[in-house]
Structure 1
Amino acid sequence: MTHRLSPRVLLALTAGVLLAIAAAVAGVLLTRGSSQPPKVALPLRPVTQVALPGDSSRFDYAGLDAGRGLLFIAHLGASQVIEVDAHTDRVVRTIDGLRGVHGVLVVPALHRVYATATDADQVVALDETTGTVLHRSPTGDYPDGLAYDPVHGTVWTTNERCST
């Protein structure tokens, strides 16, 4: 299924990408030429550690249902999504069969989790409660990030590679 982005959505996505690039460049410039970390302390602190199943091969995006305390993590190297209960610090389940999973997006209002199966060129819809695959949709070449438009009830993906 191919979707065309409206000029307003395209402008918002472009602005977001430009802000991310500017933040990355600023971070590099702040630390360039110095072996010391930046002088500004970030307001971050460890809260807990959770042992994840499988090997340490590449992890990618994660999505959180803050209301239910469920964290969904893309384990790209294992082609699975790992579901963690943030209240108990335990792995709830692993959802297999998501070839080259990159993006993960939780839409709590729909009780859905969406994941990009990059190696299959698909977006996969999962039931948030059971982890069951509900639907697979073709995306085109190399789907990556995901976004939800609550006004129109649509899920969007960015493709890392575009064919001409």
Structure 2
Amino acid sequence: MRITYRVLAYTICVLVALQAAFHAWGSAGLGLYLSEGGVIDASAQDGPPPFPEVIGLMLHGMNGMFVIPVVALILLIVSFFAKVPRGVTYAAIVFGLVLLQVTLGLLGHSIVLLGFFHGINALLLFTAALLAGLNASKRRVAERAEAATAPASASA
């Protein structure tokens, strides 16, 4: 289960990196479309996509709203069985940051300043998931197990 925990934590890191790539790709396409005279208004939502890179923005939304939250929830559930020291704490932090990220992403469409915090929180989420994965490494778990048993065996 520890390996599953570690794989899930690192998967969240990969998914967050993909989020940045999807958004950058979509934003670059939007910038090119606008610089070539394209116009974005309410009618752009009807019919075919106005520019091909819009798929990056769509993937950003789907990955952020569905894939990452599901993986984070599975990580939290697995954390109760993985026997990783402080694993539940790390998984809960990751899950909490995912919930905050989704909230900031949704509210950022009407309160644009929240988009700024959405970007910062993405870095925090990546870092928390990375630390969760590193915390579950064999070396770390072995070091903590030795530290936990050393005082008990020394006093006996």
TM-score, structure 1 as length reference: 0.24
Question: Which structure has greater strand proportion?
Answer: 1
Q: Which has the higher contact order (CA 8 A, sep 6+)?
A: 2
TM-score, structure 2 as length reference: 0.25
Question: Which structure has greater helix proportion?
Answer: 2
Q: Highest CA radius of gyration, 1 or 2?
A: 2
